[in-house]
Amino acid sequence: MAGLKELRNRLESIKSTQKITSAMKMVAASKLRKAELALNHSKPYSQLLNTNIKRLLAAIAEEESEKKITYLLPELMRDKPNAKDYLLFVFSSDRGLCGSYNHNLGKAALTRIKALKESGKTVKVICYGKKAFNVIKKQFAADVIESNPALDTKDLSFNGAVALAKKIADCYNGGMCDVCEILYSKFHSALSREIVAEQIYPLSSSALKLTEEDKNLTHVGDAYYYYKPDKISLLENLLPKLVVNLIFVSIANSQASEQGARMAAMDNATRSAKDMISSLTLKYNGLRQSAITTELTEIISGAEAL
């Protein structure tokens, strides 16, 4: 009977755990939906902003070719010569129970730091989310200059992106770094994500690279665009907005990736609990049937003895 009591207690414990993991899965699914909506709603703005910037760059390139001149592009587009000092922002989570999401981010950060150091660069790290910090500090604690709570865990908005963009600009303009990168998890689906390291300050040339199709943005049919005050001034105003947008998109991707990973982890945990309950219930019923059979045998034996 002690075995039956132990199994019964274990069954109750697993059923309670199953309820918790099932509830956490639904909460993660709700948060994932919000993050996906934020990503989808930001796409028209992102596309329009990128199109306008590339239209300006195409017009500048066209004018340079025609007039045989060279414009001095905004500072945000100019790499520092012999860039040596790198500042790496790592976005992770403050909470666990999301599978290998945080561990993979920490490993990717370690790989990037090692690669930069091996190429002769100096690296400083600022972490947002304590989980990746816990991984990084084991090998590069001296290089971590800040550890902050995860960004926008409750309300995903542009406010966090604007504040972080200002912080990055201050670090860059203050001489703390020559290059600033952000490392985050890019969301594809609830089961698929990709960890990327993206240069954010100055803007990477790949983000502003013109294609043959982009060169046609300078006109619509026979009509050409007129720019006021001038192309360079417009670029100087639009590029900081592009930085803010890139940061916002990276935060939204991080949120969606985290909640997708948590939803998948809690779904697996719920399924495992269900399998364990079935297995233990079968074992419990077997032991209970055996105990009943033993009691009946003892009763019959006693009756025959009388």
How does pLDDT run across 54-63, given as a tens digit for each residue? 888 888 888 8
**pTM attached to this predicted model:** 0.84
Place of tokens 């132990």: 6
Q: How far, in Å, CA of 61 to CA of 176, rounded?
A: 32
Task: Out of 3.40.1190.20, 2.40.70.10, 3.40.1360.10, 3.40.1380.10, select the CATH number for domain 33-262.
Answer: 3.40.1380.10
CA end-to-end distance (rounded Å), the chain: 27
Which amino acid makes up residue 92?
S
Place of tokens 């800040």: 146
Nearest to 92 by CA among 29, 34, 150, 168: 150
What's the pLDDT score for residue 152?
66
What's the pLDDT score for residue 183?
93
Q: How confident is the model at residue 160 (pLDDT cuts 50, 70, 90)?
A: confident
Q: How far, in Å, CA of 241 to CA of 255, rounded?
A: 21
Domain map of the chain by residue range?
33-262
User: What mean pLDDT, rounded, does the chain reach?
Assistant: 85
Percentage of residues of the chain with pLDDT beyond 70: 94
Which residues neighbour 218 within 8 Å (Cβ) at sequence distance 6 or greater? 55, 58, 59, 62, 224, 225
